[in-house]
Every structure is written in C-alpha cells, then in structure tokens.
C-alpha cells in the first residue's frame, strides 16, 4: 500500500477515485490503484463520454447493442453496467475485508430525474437490479424530491450515494432521510447491515462561487478560499452529533452503519491555492475523500496528513460564515445556487454523453 494512503487509512479516512472507464479496468490500472490503497470508485458521465468517444474499446459492443436498442440512454446503460460490474468484482476483496465499509462502485440515476421522486426511485431500483452486485451504490441527487427517494431506497435495503450536497441544512435532511429509511427497514424485519450510504458533500465549487461573489464586491481577499473547508468541518461536526445518542445506538445494535461524509469535487480550481488543500484540510475519521487522478497523484507525491484536520477551527468556521454575510456573501444563497447549477451541470454532462453515443454509433456504421 502507498505510504500516504496508508496514513489516511490509519486515521479512518477512505480514498476513492471519481472516474471509471473500460480502459483502466482492462489495463490493470484500477487493480494497481486498489493494491495501492484506493478503496472505492464513483463513476462520471464525462469520463464515460471521453472513453466511449475517443477509444475503440466500446465499438464492437456499441454496434451490437445499437442493433437492438435505439434509445442512447439504454445503449449507455448496456455499455456501462458491465464496466460497473467488473469494477465491483475487482473491489469485492476490499468490500469483504472491510466488512462492507468500503469496496463500493457508484452509478448515478439520470440527473434529469432529480426533481421526480417516483422516477428516481424506479430508476435507482432498476440500476441495482441491472448491476446485481452488493457493493453497488446508486447515486441520487440531494434535491428535496430526491430525499424521499433516498429514504425509500434505504427502506428497501439498497445502498445509496447521496450526491450534490452543498448546505448544512440539506446535509442534515439527507442524514435524517437515511435514518428514517433504516428505521423503516428494521421495522419491516430487514437487515440494515446489508445497507451502506455516503453523503457526498461538494467542496471546491463552494469556494469558486463564494470567491466569485467576493470578487464582484471587491476586496476581502482574506475571506477567499476558506468557505469550502469551513463548510465541510461544520458538516463533520453535524455528522458526529447526528450519528450518536440512544436513537442511533439502537439502529447500530441492529447492524446499521453510519452514513459517512464523502468529500467530492476535491480538485482545486484556483491555481493560487494548494493542489492538495481539499485533501489535507479534510482529513478525519469515518470519512471518504473521492479524488480525480490529478489530485490522487499530487497527494501521493507531496500530501501531508494531519489526523485532526477536520476537528480544528470549528469556531473560526462558524465565524467565517457570519463575516461573509456581513460583507454581502450570503451562505444560503451560495449553496442554493450551487445545488441548482449542480443538477444542471450533471444533466448537461449526461446529455453530452448521450449525444456522444449517437455520434460514435453513426461513425462506426459509416466506417463499416
């Protein structure tokens, strides 16, 4: 295992990667990363689009599937679910070794369904059945309609990656939905030990949006590049409070596991900031950091581990939100904007993926 990833593991933080393609599975790259300490994968439509459009690895299957299916979304799912299943199989030893804590692969519900509770539930159920692996997590956005679908999925014993969380209020609502789902599962005689969930808190986009607003106001450079980590630290404090006490202890006694915070969008967007700031400042027990390849490589090269990083500066984090409010940057407006933009960006990426599949299909047929 890589020395720095081992340090994170010893603290209690798991490292996942936020990309998956057939190439890294077949080349052995994913297996090597697992051996180095990577403990999970979240798939990404943009990565799939690039892989399908700019390699020949999918061509034969794409041509075969397109003879039977016309809907590009159905073609994509046929192509992707095998990659997801293969990745699940590669990570199964991690899943078993960690007693279901890690070893997960995430596949997302179509983001265009983010405001449709029944359709989200139906598609999440379908994806679980399609991949048919116990270490699959289906990603559902943390919109208000998404919360009900998340609770319902947990109540049926399905593992869920709750994505696109930006605000503390929404994080609390996500955690409460998870707990309600577990309570329903237990009441129905189900086994909560078979269910896992992560709450994916998006990091860098928070600084990007807050910094943009500070730029418009002018000045206050001392407040830039700080809201994202402050937000995460406050969420971590909420996590520790929510998953403690008699109610949680009862569920835990039945085999339930905590819904761990997952730090997503951890690549630094501003070149003036440290490339590993969203790893080093967010180290803490019972968390996950999912990294793009560039950040994973940077952290392995020169990252530092402070096991108490998430516990430090809580009062400063609370004070920062008030200082930003005083100068005209409203925390609630920032996070509300980011949720709407997040759903839109996810939808745009998914639509680009589907268009890429259409284009590649036409190209293959023409070349043939």
Does residue 317 sit within a domain? no
CATH number at 251 reads 3.20.20.70
Mean of pLDDT over the chain: 96
pLDDT confidence tier of residue 86, bands split at 50, 70 and 90: very high
Mean pLDDT of 327-343: 97
* 230-276 residue pLDDT tens: 999 999 999 999 999 999 999 999 999 999 999 999 999 999 999 99
- Domain membership flag for residue 334: no
pLDDT score, position 271: 93
216 assigned to some structural domain = no
CA distance between the termini of the chain: 45
> Can you give the pLDDT at residue 368?
55
Contact 206, 335 (CB under 8 A): yes
**Per-residue confidence (pLDDT) for residue 366, from 0 to 100:** 67
Domain housing 354: 3-203+225-310+339-367
Residue 210 lies in a domain: no
Q: Output the pLDDT for position 363.
A: 83
**Total structural domains in the chain?**
1
Predicted confidence at residue 364, as pLDDT, reads 86
Our CA angle for 60, 66, 67, nearest 5°, is 100
Statement: residue 179 has pLDDT above 60: yes
pLDDT value, residue 53: 87
| Residue 365 confidence (pLDDT) | 73
The encoded tokens of residue 270 equal 């501003």
The answer to whether the CB of 182 falls within 8 A of the CB of 157 is no
Mean pLDDT to the nearest integer, 323-331: 98
Q: Quote the pLDDT of residue 269.
A: 92
- In the chain, which ranges are continuous DSSP H helix? 3-11, 22-26, 29-36, 45-54, 59-66, 72-97, 117-131, 144-155, 168-187, 204-217, 227-242, 245-253, 277-280, 293-302, 314-327, 331-367
Does 220 fall in a domain?
no
Q: Which one of 139, 233, 258, 360 is the catalytic residue?
A: 139
Taken as a whole, the chain contains a residue count of 368
Which residues make Cβ contacts (< 8 Å) with residue 113, sequence separation at least 6? 119, 120, 123
Give pLDDT, residue 331: 98
Is the model's pLDDT at 225 over the cut of 70? yes
Phi-psi region of 283 (alpha: psi -120 to 50; beta: other; left: phi over 0): beta
Residues 6+ apart with CB under 8 A from 362: none
What is the share, in percent, of the chain residues with pLDDT greater than 70? 99
**Each residue's pLDDT tens digit, 70-79:** 999 999 999 9
| Per-residue pLDDT, 44 | 85
191 is catalytic: no
In 3D space, the residue among 170, 142, 163 whose CA is nearest the CA of residue 264 turns out to be: 163
pLDDT tens for 35-75 read 999 999 999 888 898 889 888 999 999 999 999 999 999 99
| 143 domain-assigned | yes
Give per-residue pLDDT as tens, 99-145.
999 999 999 999 999 999 999 999 999 999 999 999 999 999 999 99
Please report whether residue 27 resides in a domain.
Answer: yes
In a domain, 327, yes or no: no
Buried b (16+ CB within 10 A) or exposed e, 99-123: ebbbbbbbbbbbbebbebbebbbeb
Q: Which two tokens stand for residue 252?
A: 């835990």
């Amino acid at each position: 295992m890589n020395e720095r990833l081992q340090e994170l593991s010893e603290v209690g933080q798991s490292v996942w990667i936020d990309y998956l393609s057939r190439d890294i599975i077949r080349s052995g790259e994913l297996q090597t990363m697992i051996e180095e300490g990577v403990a999970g994968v979240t798939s990404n439509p943009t990565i799939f689009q690039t892989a399908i459009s700019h390699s020949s690895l999918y061509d034969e299957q794409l041509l075969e599937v397109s003879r039977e299916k016309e809907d590009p979304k159905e073609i994509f799912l046929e192509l992707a679910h095998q990659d997801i299943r293969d990745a699940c199989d590669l990570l199964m030893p991690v899943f078993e070794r960690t007693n279901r804590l890690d070893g997960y692969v995430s596949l997302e519900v179509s983001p265009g369904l983010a405001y449709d509770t029944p359709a989200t539930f139906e598609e999440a159920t379908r994806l679980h059945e399609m991949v048919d692996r116990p270490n699959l997590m289906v990603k559902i956005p943390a919109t208000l309609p998404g919360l009900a679908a998340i609770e319902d999925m947990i109540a049926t014993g399905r593992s869920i990656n709750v994505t696109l969380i930006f605000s503390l209020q929404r994080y609390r609502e996500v955690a409460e939905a998870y707990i309600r789902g577990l309570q329903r599962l237990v009441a129905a005689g189900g086994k909560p030990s078979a269910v896992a969930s992560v709450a994916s808190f998006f990091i860098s986009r928070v600084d990007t949006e807050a910094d943009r607003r500070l730029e418009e106001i002018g000045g206050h450079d001392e407040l830039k590049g700080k809201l994202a980590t402050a937000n995460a630290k406050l969420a971590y404090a909420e996590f520790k409070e929510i998953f403690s006490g008699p109610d949680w202890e009862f569920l835990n006694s039945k085999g339930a596991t905590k819904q761990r915070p997952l730090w997503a969008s951890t690549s630094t967007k501003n070149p003036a900031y440290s490339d590993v700031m969203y790893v080093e400042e967010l180290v803490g027990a019972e968390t996950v950091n999912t990294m793009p390849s560039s950040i994973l490589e940077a952290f392995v090269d020169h990252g530092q581990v402070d096991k108490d990083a998430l516990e430090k500066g809580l009062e400063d984090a609370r004070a920062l939100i008030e200082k930003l409010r005083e100068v005209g940057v409203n925390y609630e407006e920032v996070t509300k904007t980011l949720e709407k933009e997040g759903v839109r960006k996810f939808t745009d990426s998914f639509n680009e993926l589907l268009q890429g599949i259409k284009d590649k299909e036409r190209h293959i047929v023409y070349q043939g």
